[in-house]
Structure 1
């Protein structure tokens, strides 16, 4: 089985955290200045095979103004008015992951070990609440720490498609092209994403680009890697969160 040479892949594009300011970081979990409170976790959790235990929710004081700038989706949950006596529930996100999300919104950096341990959960939460830079950072971590195989290839493709994780999908497609004989023999594509053929052709085009010497190799959007497309989109003030097709379509309009 062949592995993709990481030295031939450009580093992933991750936007800077817009809240990287010590003053804002110092306001994280500050109950005195907070004007809203979130509540994550709580309810029943599995204790053993027969019993379930009740866990208490964890509260997170926050500031509406910071959320409005960094996560409008979270800010909308708060409404235009409110107080910090009635917690706003955050369903389906664990307290640990919501802590990482909120910490990031206040300019903090998620520790590498935590990012590795919770990469998919952070992607899910960041995708849900529109925190693009954190989502891309978690996606890059997931790609870096994932060992692709013919057994898990389709799972990664389907997950990447469901969350618009274009970098993860690209890495999976690279693995597929490098190991196409074994993949064709052992992998069923009946549940493949709708744009599967287009992604295969893009992966093949990237392979052809390596040996290309004519002048258009640097301007062919179809053959560019996701990190290149995201960098170009960011440079032009475009949204960097989306599929390969969305990025290319947006860049063609520039």
Structure 2
């Protein structure tokens, strides 16, 4: 897909992996709408790049529908959707306090919250975007209408202790990639997923220097945390490469945590 002049939506686009993707798309001449809850950061980025900011909560049907309606009214129907919105938490499914011996379990509402955000929220945006893409004329020899890219995680395959909610939600994103790509095959819409490893996002911005060093040293090569621009570079290649479909690709420096 040609990026110059393309219309794109990036969820979670105000910071981290999403911001890097917004910047990379804009640098290639794409027109980008940023879906995020952080109005201050989203509006500043949109103003800098001549984009559009839409305050969107991806866990809410009405909010997502209104976001797409606003973006399409201002810049047209998107051909590219990159889903970066999401978050994690850390709880063991059950544990015993070392000092008191008290037994607790994973708060079920916190498990549900992460799954509703990371998995259901991503699927909600995919469904609404794909329906819109069906209204577009196909382009080029491959008759392509659009491209959807989701953010999973290496935790989807190699989750750690305390990551039950995060890992299972990201595994769900991996699991839906191929069937949804097959759902949309006749319509010329491709679906892929990126599985980032330890990325240098705002999540680690305030971490102790020794922790950041430890995280970087745990990566086989290169021995550092991944950069958001490297995620964005892969996302753009997934847009460009029309033969990449139904794939989930690790971006983790060969780490197997």
- What TM-score results when the alignment is normalised by the length of structure 1? 0.29
Structure number with bigger Rg: 1
- What TM-score results when the alignment is normalised by the length of structure 2? 0.29
